[in-house]
Structure 1
Amino acid sequence: MKKLKDYEIGIAKLSNKRHSYEFEMDDSFFELFGTDIISGGKLLAKVELDKTESLLTFDIDIEGHVRLTCDRSLDEFDYPVHVQQVFRVKYGEENLELDDDLWQITNGTQAINIAQHLYDYISLSLPMKKLHPRFVEESDEEEDDSEEDILIYTSRSESDSEDEDDDDEDTDPRWDALRNLN
């Protein structure tokens, strides 16, 4: 069983150059996060770390597939994933998350755990509507059909409707009486 510690990169003893890492993610990786979004999968993350005096740049490339549950049929299916992200860490006085892809750490930090970042990048690459591949074509056809049958609602301003009513001689006299109440 994998542990979060398996996804740590020791940065304290690294020299200032480019370093390469590979992390395998399988069902045990997704169990660490305990969510129902992803039930499993098999992915490989290639991480290129470029270390300089003041900045760490992580080029992350994740490829593989995850097992999702179809929103329509509740069948499980494999969904292909390919993610490329850049994550930066700079040195500062305290540990802060400055942005989604920019962190600040202290000079004494020994290691960085990237497991949460890997999981987040995978999760964000998933579609909002999870459909089994056999339903994807049906969904595309439904969207094409709905574009042809668009109902457009228009309303007229009051001045437009009064002008049309004046031109129309066959109006009901009861409506004319109601209009005069204003």
Structure 2
Amino acid sequence: MKKDPQFDLPIARLSLKTHHFAFELGRAFFEQFDPKGEFIADGNLHADVTLEKTERLITLDFHIVGTVRLTCDRSLDEYDQPLDITHQLLVRYGDEPKELDDDVLQVTPETLTLDVAQHLYDYIGLALPMKRLHPRFQHEADEDPEAETKLIFSTRPKGESPDDDEPADPRWAALKNLN
């Protein structure tokens, strides 16, 4: 991944107050992480980052709004998925740089910059739906929430019910007696 310095926040030079940063996230941003565009093909997002710096802690509030270009799982058509993401990241000072939690980082007091590109990409990726459906199919998923649990195909002849008393193979009956 080629690092883009525009996403480096100069935390060492910032005074102890609230600061605001804005980023435009497009195709070039997503190509840094996924050059082939397999996860996110493209996007048009605006990210506002509010950084509040105190003596011991830096609080980063992310607000990301816009659309990303996804491929529908059903039709393989591309469509624009709207996103509105808010997330908070805490950065504290310590002896060594490490990730303490998903939302808590530790940096040394000598750290000059904080790269937020990976965090932006991760927050966008986490906000995407598990099942990517084009908007024309969305109403079908909303109508019946248990549609995925319905039986689509059965080899049993129509009208015939399962007979639990008579197993298809006598070896299964012997296994049932082991209980």
Please confirm whether the aligned pair reaches a TM-score higher than 0.5, indicating the same fold.
yes
**C-alpha contact (below 8 Å) 2:72/2:134 kept by paired residues:** yes
Summarize the Cα distance change of 1:13–1:79 in structure 2 as closer, same or farther, 3 Å threshold: same
Task: Give the alignment's TM-score, normalised by structure 1.
Answer: 0.77
Going from structure 1 to structure 2, the CA distance change for 1:17 and 1:138 (only over 3 Å counts) comes to same
* 1:34-57, Cα deviation, whole Å (9 max, x unpaired): 151110010000000000001000
Is the CA contact 2:141–2:147 (under 8 Å) kept in the aligned structure 1?
A: no
Q: Report the Cα offset of residue 139 of structure 1.
A: 2.3
Consecutive unaligned residues of structure 2, counting only runs of 5 or more, are: 152-164, 166-179
Match of 1:72 among 71, 74, 98: 74
- For 1:145 and 1:130, locate their aligned partners in 2 and report how far apart those are by CA, in whole Å: 16
1:96 lines up with 2:130 in the alignment = no
Q: 3-state DSSP class of the match of 2:33? A: coil
Q: Which residue of 2 aligns with 1:132?
A: 134
Shift of 1:6: 1.3
Q: CA 1:104 to 1:145, structure 2 compared with 1: closer, same or farther past 3 Å?
A: closer
Matches within 5 A, 1:94-173: 94-143=96-145
RMSD: 2.1
Does residue 22 of structure 2 align to residue 18 of structure 1? Answer: no
Cα separation, 1, equivalents of 2:148 and 2:19: 51
| 1:139/1:37 CA distance change after superposition, 3 Å | same
TM-score when normalising by structure 2: 0.78
Q: Deviations over 1:55-86 (max 9, x none)?
A: 00001000000000000000000000000001
The reply on whether 1:9 has 2:9 as its aligned counterpart is: yes
String of CA shifts for 1:114-160, please: whole Å, max 9, x gaps.
Answer: 000000000000110000000111222343667899xxxxxxxxxxx
Stretches of structure 1 that go unaligned for 5 or more consecutive residues are 150-160, 162-182
Task: Give the whole-Å Cα distance in 2 for the aligned partners of 1:146 and 1:61.
Answer: 33
- Identity among equivalent positions (%) equals 50
Question: Deviations for 1:144-182, whole angstroms, at most 9, x for unmatched residues?
Answer: 667899xxxxxxxxxxx9xxxxxxxxxxxxxxxxxxxxx
Equivalents in 1 of 2:65, 2:139: separation in Å? 24
Name the CA distance, whole Å, in 1 between partners of 2:147 and 2:40: 31
When residues 142 and 16 of structure 1 are mapped into structure 2, their CA distance, relative to the original with a 3 A threshold, is: same
